[in-house]
Chain A
Amino acid sequence: MGETTRRLMQGNEAIVEAALVAGCRFFAGYPITPSTEIAELLAARLPQAGGRFIQMEDEIASMGAAIGASLTGTKSMTATSGPGFSLKQENLGFASLTEVPVVVVNVQRMGPSTGMPTAPSQGDIMQARWGTHGDHPVVAMAPASVGETYEATIKAFNISEALRVPVVILLDEVIGHMREGVEIPRAEDIQLLERKGPSTGPADHLPYADDGTGVPEMAPFGTGYRYHVTGLFHDETGFPDMSNATADTLMRRIMGKMERHRDVYEWTETTDTEDAEVLLVTYGSPAQAARSAIRRARREGMKVGEFRVVTVWPFPEERLRQLAGGVREIIVPEMNLGQLRLEVERVVAGRARVSGINRTDGDIFKPDEIYAGIREVYGGER
């Protein structure tokens, strides 16, 4: 088999290449800065790989087409940025409730509204969790480099297929457009997860029956399995059922499957936490500046550690709770006014003081700014 190769690529290109490796064969999209390269590259690459690229009339339609394609058993993806991500929300809720695997890339730009189309931001963190109405399961990942974007994209398809849940990849614009060297893994080292097919014939198939895992079997449309897919609450047959008992069972199952399969999607990295007094909770591109700031602080004797969250939603509560017990201060650097900090505060629940370093001017963090934030914590003692 092949060797690992190293390639210089852009974040948006890493999404494309990794999606193809993960088996994505359908993409429906709509041009929007700073995500457009994903559509452009897939317009050329997907037909070469035997897949299908469709440009739709807007983001609502793109999301709808990706869901429709996924129901036929094809791994599907769409990509967008803030305004388009807002438009996709209704269909994201549909995919959550009907449990249709789909990967949605949101290359975040400054918002709200048209905002600053070419400026980086992490302003959509809470939208990725709660953008559509109603309680609903969703996975969101925020890789910190181009290489990690490649890895996260493959994982996003795996999670989506294994748990039948929409997965959102949140790039900051700077990751989407930055070029970095990426280690392309050898084909045999890449593990792919596929959705679970039906174990019975068409006559006995119950498309929304819980087989004990919380994740129903999924029969591709067009293979003889005729069933009903609806955004109404439904019972095991898929047909609408508005009874309180069915609604409660369905909602608790789709939320419950996320809780019990944390091992499938949870992805965090800890560095220098053993003796840490101060903990940085990072995600996305600010983690790169944070790493440099932490190294400098360490050289100067400050005991700083890092808890980096790649899968942001569902939030790795347990892991942070363990770490929070041992530190006195937690700092969350974010390119927004403190969205993930709210979640960190909720989980830490007073075990440590939580503060933020925030940029909301459309520029990226410099290591000095994060270093200054760390220094401030030590300010009184040195």
Chain B
Amino acid sequence: MAVNLRELSKKKVPFTGGHRLCAGCGASIVVRQMLAAADHPVVAGVATGCLEVATTIYPYSAWETPLIHNAFENVAATISGAEAAYRSLKAQGKVDKEIKFMAFGGDGGTYDIGLQSLSGAMERGHNMVYVCYDNGAYMNTGIQRSSATPMGADTSTSPAGSKIPGKPGHRKNLTAIMAAHNIPYVAQTTPAHWRDLVTKTKKALEVEGPAFINVLATCPRGWRIPDDATISTLRLATDTCFWPLFEVEYGEWKLNYRPREKKPIEEWMKPQGRFRHLFREENKHLLEEIQAEVDRNWEQILRFVDGK
């Protein structure tokens, strides 16, 4: 599946500029690149979150697609209904156009409150692509921890102080949970690897049945990084193996990027203000624990990939 940058750049993407997402926000890059990959008209759904709020501020909308925003927990269910009805209309000969269905949710709306709805949609087998833009906290309501928040991150509900050094536990491996659904396509990517992102989106849109893509996305406010550090920070996430790029097709794991040299996790964490307190002497053991968790996850993926 060749992706041509020149052609891609000429494509009219049904997601306009002028929305109110922050400078440096990863979510809008994710949506733009993914919609650019679609070769058919898309019906989109968005869960409550920054993306929904900031791209649809009345009287404007950045979306040049039909768009459904229902609630926080049910974008997968809502798109399920639209897709099922479309299939019925198609079977009755009332629609002949090929239409793709995409649902977008943040980590709050996907890892936490929307997980049941997502799992149901994947199990039922709707022909849809669910995209999670994972920025690792509830950024829309002011940076509260989610089950995607990395261990040690300072958030407004896991405040680093004398009682806890930021979020106490490790994050949930949602991509692996979705892979365990044994659906046609599951992948993990970032907008820093645009070719990987676009290729995976095309694959997801083309498979018959449900697909899930987890995309790491920065939040300059929540991560406490400058707004021009989006791509470099995301690249470090893959180079430290915090966020491996892989895909799972019908249960077959495949690694898409193996860094030449696996960098220590500190290199990803250091530029982010949300981890600042972890670099104090008394928290050194936590950095070691975080590194150990990254290593565990990475080795697990390698085992899955190599089939050992």
Contact = CB atoms under 8 A, between A and B. Distances in A.
Interface of A: 29-33, 36, 39-40, 43-44, 47-48, 53, 55, 57-59, 83, 87, 113-114
A43 B71 contact: no
B161 interface: yes
Given A47-B164, A83-B72, 14 more contacts: A31-B138, A31-B141, A31-B144, A36-B141, A36-B144, A43-B157, A43-B159, A44-B159, A48-B163, A53-B157, A55-B145, A55-B158, A58-B113, A87-B73
B113 A39 contact: no
13 contacts: A29-B157, A31-B141, A31-B142, A31-B144, A36-B156, A43-B158, A44-B161, A53-B157, A57-B115, A83-B71, A87-B73, A114-B48, A114-B71
A113 B68 CA distance: 13
A30 B161 CA distance: 21
A113 B113 contact: no
A32 B141 CA distance: 7
Contacts of B145: 55
| Max chain A Cβ within 10 angstroms of own Cβ: one of B72, B138, B147, B161 | B72
A191 to B, nearest CB: 30
| Max chain A Cβ within 10 angstroms of own Cβ: one of B73, B108, B113 | B113
Nearest to A34: B141
Given A43-B156, A57-B147, A58-B112, A36 B142 contact: yes
Contacts of A39: 144, 157
Contacts, number: 49
Nearest to B156: A40
Interface size class of B (residues with CB under 8 A): 20 to 34
Nearest to A48: B163
Contacts of B142: 31, 36, 40
Contacts of A58: 73, 112-113
A39 B112 CA distance: 17
A362 to B, nearest CB: 13
Interface in B111-166: 112-113, 115, 138, 141-142, 144-145, 147, 156-159, 161, 163-164
B168 to A, nearest CB: 11
A8 B141 CA distance: 24
A118 to B, nearest CB: 11
Contacts of A114: 48, 69, 71
Contacts of B115: 57
B157 A40 contact: yes
Contacts of A30: 113
Interface in B164-191: 164
Interface of B: 48, 69, 71-73, 108, 112-113, 115, 138, 141-142, 144-145, 147, 156-159, 161, 163-164
A44 B163 CA distance: 9
A304 to B, nearest CB: 39
Nearest to A30: B113
B105 to A, nearest CB: 13
Contacts of B72: 83
Contact of B71 (A31, A36, A113): A113
A58 B110 CA distance: 11
B222 to A, nearest CB: 13
Contacts of A32: 141
A29 B158 CA distance: 13
Contacts of B159: 43-44
A44 B156 CA distance: 8
B208 to A, nearest CB: 31
Given A39-B157, A43-B157, A57-B113, A33 B71 contact: no
Nearest to A35: B141
Contacts of B156: 36, 40, 43
Nearest to B164: A47
A202 B164 CA distance: 38
B141 A57 contact: no
Nearest to B161: A44
A24 to B, nearest CB: 17
A33 B140 CA distance: 9
Contacts of A59: 113
A126 B184 CA distance: 46
Contacts of B112: 57-58
Contacts of B157: 29, 31, 39-40, 43, 53, 55
A282 B164 CA distance: 44
Contacts of B147: 57
A55 B144 contact: yes
Contacts of B141: 31-33, 36
B140 to A, nearest CB: 8
A353 B69 CA distance: 43
Contacts of B108: 31
B113 A47 contact: no
A87 B113 CA distance: 11
B256 to A, nearest CB: 30
Contacts of B161: 44
Nearest to B48: A114
A40 B157 CA distance: 5
A74 to B, nearest CB: 18
B157 to A, nearest CB: 4
A86 to B, nearest CB: 9
Contact of A47 (B48, B71, B73, B163): B163
Contacts of B113: 30, 57-59
Contacts of A43: 156-159
A250 to B, nearest CB: 32
A36 B73 CA distance: 17
Contacts of A40: 142, 144, 156-157
